[in-house]
Amino acid sequence: MFSGVKSLVMGGREVWPLVEGGKGVSATNHASSGAWALAGGVGTVSAVNADSYDAEGNVIPQIYRAATRRDRHEELVHYGIAGGIAQVQRAYEIAAPELRRGIGAININVLWEMGGAQRILHGVLEGTRGLVNGVTCGAGMPYKLSEIAAQYGVHYYPIISSARAFRALWKRAYSKAAEWLGAVVYEDPWLAGGHNGLSNAEDPRAPQDPYPRVAELRATMRELGVSESVPIVMAGGVWRLDEWANWFDNPELGQVVFQFGTRPLLTQESPIPQAWKERLLHLNEGDILLHKFSPTGFYSSAIRNPYLRALEARSERQIAFSTTATGDHQFALDVGVGRKSYFVTRDDLLRAREWHGAGFTEALKTPDNTLVFVTTAERDTIRKDQADCMGCLSHCGFSAWKDTDTNSTGRLADPRSFCIQKTLQDIAHGGDPEQNLAFAGHSAYRFSSDAWYSNGFIPTVKQLVERLRTGA
């Protein structure tokens, strides 16, 4: 029998065991995170290319004017710091009545693999001293997270997807700043929205039960001497808490807190455009795709809309080639490549001619010695987006940018991917949710079947938190 949740102390604050997931580029901002903290939970400001504002309170468009990628990257870092500071300050103002009483908390979320991550994190924390309680960080192995958090006197919340990953982080770095470990976030790699931490040994088509994985994480934490007061945050696939009743007061798991990434998208304070909210209300089971088109190289989960289906179709229009006639590759490719000399199999030659006849007249090389066939318009968009790169990731497969002295991955830019900065900025600021990447967790289809959302009802954050506390 589930009778609701009790508050606990996490990161030195009294909070409900309810954490708002910090969602990417402007999908979680001050309005939602401030309201979440005001309701007594942990509100999480996304500090990934966050919006900043002019003197009249209007969002400042992130326009890149520099001529070189390196200089555009500097513009990106400047935008990132200014936006992160602005969002935290506004979130704190909203939640201040409770925060000053020691109730609720404001965290920030950063991606370790975002471009300039450490510089942006330093800049935001320096500019928001006394306002931020903790830093949630994933998308990679953030070894320096504990060191940076301790420097500013804030807690850190590493996002991991296996006990093995936490063990590596603890032994290399986190044990040296154990007192600042606020919680460990277990993000289920099959259920969570956005980028997921699937390893090469795990099958994306074979989801695993999170319980034994979280039990293994707690056992590892105990083995390493991590305090029992440090909770595990379960992230991914959480819709209503009565479905997780056996996780509460469970001595095997210890203290567990729950993170909600998808449900806060559909609140009145959520900053995502109304069209995106409407799309969420009408999803069916299976409409979320776990895919690997992201330029980060990570798997990620998003709505399988025309934008993603076009990427799927693009990869299907793909053939292997050789620069010399060898083996089965004996047939000179005569479409899509101009005067360049490529040899393919007979079957692939026929397929290429068919695609060419259907309007996919341009063959673009990939880093894997294959060719993908696209329209002229698609080719032009891909090339422009690659040329406009501002280094939003530490390592980008789409543009071949890498945050090093050479600013190059050393590999060919991959036309099968996309500019993630461009599409996430667009959808967050009014772009068509059918023609952009629309991140969502695999439980998002439940909006359409949950009676609470019938007739298009969209709750306030306060209403959602109160409902979650009761288990619904």
Say yes or no: 304 and 280 in one domain. no
pLDDT at residue 1 in the model = 54
* Ramachandran class of 178: left when φ > 0, alpha when ψ lies in -120 to 50, beta otherwise: alpha
Say yes or no: 176 and 90 in one domain. yes
- Asked whether residue 437 is domain-assigned, the answer is no
Q: Is 462 exposed, middle or buried (0-12, 13-18, 19+ CB in 10 A)?
A: middle
- Asked whether residue 3 is domain-assigned, the answer is no
Say yes or no: 303 and 212 in one domain. no
Tally the C-alpha atoms within 13 A of residue 256's C-alpha that lie toward its C-beta. 24
- Asked whether residue 404 is domain-assigned, the answer is yes
Say yes or no: 96 and 234 in one domain. yes
pLDDT at residue 138 in the model = 81
> Distance between CA 355 and CA 373 in Å, rounded?
7
Say yes or no: 240 and 330 in one domain. no
> Distance between CA 90 and CA 47 in Å, rounded?
13
Say yes or no: 276 and 316 in one domain. no
Say yes or no: 351 and 378 in one domain. yes
pLDDT at residue 198 in the model = 67
- Asked whether residue 292 is domain-assigned, the answer is no
pLDDT in tens, 57-100: 999 999 999 999 999 999 999 999 999 999 999 999 999 999 99
Q: The domain that contains 151 carries what CATH number? A: 3.20.20.70
- Asked whether residue 451 is domain-assigned, the answer is yes
Say yes or no: 277 and 311 in one domain. no
- Asked whether residue 71 is domain-assigned, the answer is yes
pLDDT at residue 271 in the model = 93
- Contact at 8 Å (CB) between 258 and 238? yes
- Asked whether residue 442 is domain-assigned, the answer is no
pLDDT at residue 218 in the model = 98
pLDDT in tens, 417-446: 999 999 999 999 999 999 999 988 889 999
Say yes or no: 451 and 352 in one domain. no
Say yes or no: 243 and 352 in one domain. no
Q: Which residues make beta-bridge pairs with 194?
A: 301
pLDDT at residue 206 in the model = 78
Say yes or no: 216 and 76 in one domain. yes
Say yes or no: 140 and 184 in one domain. yes
Residue at 403: amino acid letter? D
Give the total number of structural domains in the chain.
Answer: 2
- The domain of 355 spans 299-428
Token pair for residue 290? 């776990």
- Asked whether residue 227 is domain-assigned, the answer is yes
Per-residue pLDDT of the chain (472 residues; tens, 9 = 90+): 567 789 999 999 999 999 998 877 788 899 999 999 999 999 999 999 999 999 999 999 999 999 999 999 999 999 999 999 999 999 999 999 999 999 999 999 998 888 999 999 999 999 999 999 999 988 778 889 999 999 999 999 999 999 999 999 999 999 999 999 999 999 998 888 777 766 667 777 777 899 999 999 999 999 999 999 999 999 999 999 999 999 999 999 999 999 999 999 999 999 999 999 999 999 999 898 888 888 888 888 889 999 999 999 999 999 999 999 999 999 999 999 999 999 999 999 999 999 999 999 999 999 999 999 999 999 999 999 999 999 999 999 999 999 888 989 999 999 999 999 999 999 999 999 999 999 888 899 999 999 999 988 999 999 999 999 987 7
Closest CA to 235 of 140, 136, 95: 136
